[in-house]
Structure 1
């Protein structure tokens, strides 16, 4: 028995060491670092909650939070809404549908760095193809990444171009799992397309929509690569998001403790985002058995009979 245990640990040990070395140890170390003043050169000193107090009064961090919230509030519903629209359009037997699905998904597999380089050329104010096309339609040249009023929206557009493909694939798989019998019964009852979508399709997609809501929100809160490649947080801090702010404080300004405090502030926000839906689902599950059972002779019984 002891020999078998030793053999098992011999196989498991490399993975355990990797997890400890790349996950657990950095998390604990960065947590301790958030309570210290550390410039990565001189010995650190304990400052307690001073880093967190400074964050609460830092206008640059406040701007980064506002930019991140605005980006998330626009990206999440637009990506899911566009993904649902495209998924419904591609969930049909049309010619070359496989090619269309591939073209929609391809931008998602392109790295954010490559996207940033590509769109930096396309959206260049002087030589970019975007202003050339706009000039054909009589629209004056736009600043895009160089304009503080447009930079964040330009980043949002690039993110939607790539991130919508993930939503399309997930929703397409979910649409193909909608029971055909429900759809057929609804059509036999004379249900229109909008009513079919509202009362049959969308309720079946609810678990997937909750997953996409959480996934896209977490993804948007952690956006960094695209900002780093395209705008470097500018112009005038208009595209500085939280993760870029963390990188800037830790590796550009060499205030590692301050950056770690900002990182744990973001981690707390992500934890709340992940836990709140679970708590809401648990509370809803507790209250559900207390509800009175529906009258079997009422509309539910008639609907059951109609479905048969």
Structure 2
């Protein structure tokens, strides 16, 4: 009886400790999700004060909306260009800096600096740097005799400019995460590999990379999620242009919700995006777990 009383007391103590966090999660996360789902089932227009229930019509409308399809395609292009470049670049820099050399600490700080800078500020800086008339990059290209284009006003180069800006901003942050994974690998493994005559390249592919896979899976999944939610640099640098070539899903959702005030349709698109991210994340997690269970990274 006394044991049951102690267990009940411990349980209530745990509930009281997590209750404030659960209230915050309920008010600021769960309630908005439920409210957004409810809105997606309505013709919810703020300006017209219309809130008619229409079921799944907003979801059906999305897949016949050419602008939605274009935004989805642009999001996929951005994601599967941005994520591989960012992850590989961050991995290369982390491996390079992990070898101790004079000035390594300075380079770590320098590369991490953009991560603590607002993306809006970074986007404004690159918007001016890439300007075809007054941009510093354009001036350098002209001085070197290269043909100059206005990167952000050319449909063929605008997405590349946005990807480059995102990679530059987050490269240092991901580098630090990968460095922490590298530092967790025991030095004894490298010492044993050196005794066996393995060079640095062999050590990387046989020791570092396999043992880094949990860290790399975290980096890839978090960047995959964030890339599908890209908005700020699009809004500041291109506003979805030119000719809708950089309009991504989140920007289109923002446009429909806060420019057209069609909150029902915007909420439906937001849930479609949520489902896409959830499915991709689950597939990727399953892939990593299967690889680990098969011993590929052992």
Fold conserved between structures, TM > 0.5:
yes
Q: 70, 75, 78: which is aligned to 1:71?
A: 78
Aligned 1:251-262 pairs, distance under 5 A: 251-262=258-269
Aligned 1:240-251 pairs, distance under 5 A: 240-251=247-258
Equivalent residue number for residue 197 of structure 2: 190
Per-residue CA shift, 1:268-302, capped at 9, x if unaligned? Answer: 011112322444566678x769xxxxxxxxxxxxx
Equivalent residue number for residue 297 of structure 1: none
Aligned partner of residue 198 in structure 1, secondary structure: helix
Q: 26, 29, 36: which is aligned to 2:32?
A: 26
Quick check: 2:217–2:288 contact (8 Å CA) kept in 1? no
Equivalent residue number for residue 42 of structure 2: 36
Aligned partner of residue 50 in structure 2, secondary structure: coil
Equivalent residue number for residue 55 of structure 1: 62
Q: 220, 226, 243: which is aligned to 1:219?
A: 226
Q: Distance in 1 between matches of 2:171 and 2:90?
A: 5
Runs of 5+ consecutive residues of structure 2 not aligned to the other structure: none
Equivalent residue number for residue 147 of structure 1: 154
Per-residue CA shift, 1:29-86, capped at 9, x if unaligned? Answer: 1001111111113131011111111111111111111111111111111111111111
Q: Distance in 2 between matches of 1:204 and 1:246?
A: 40
TM-score when scaled to structure 1? 0.87
Q: In structure 2, do the counterparts of structure 1 residues 7 and 100 end up closer, same or farther at CA, with 3 Å as the change threshold?
A: closer
Per-residue CA shift, 1:81-119, capped at 9, x if unaligned? Answer: 111111111112211211110001111111111111111
Aligned 1:196-215 pairs, distance under 5 A: 196-215=203-222
Could you say which structure has the larger radius of gyration? 1
Q: Distance in 2 between matches of 1:288 and 1:79?
A: 27
Equivalent residue number for residue 277 of structure 2: 270
Give the length in aligned residue pairs. 288
Q: Distance in 2 between matches of 1:113 and 1:216?
A: 18
Q: In structure 2, do the counterparts of structure 1 residues 230 and 201 end up closer, same or farther at CA, with 3 Å as the change threshold?
A: same
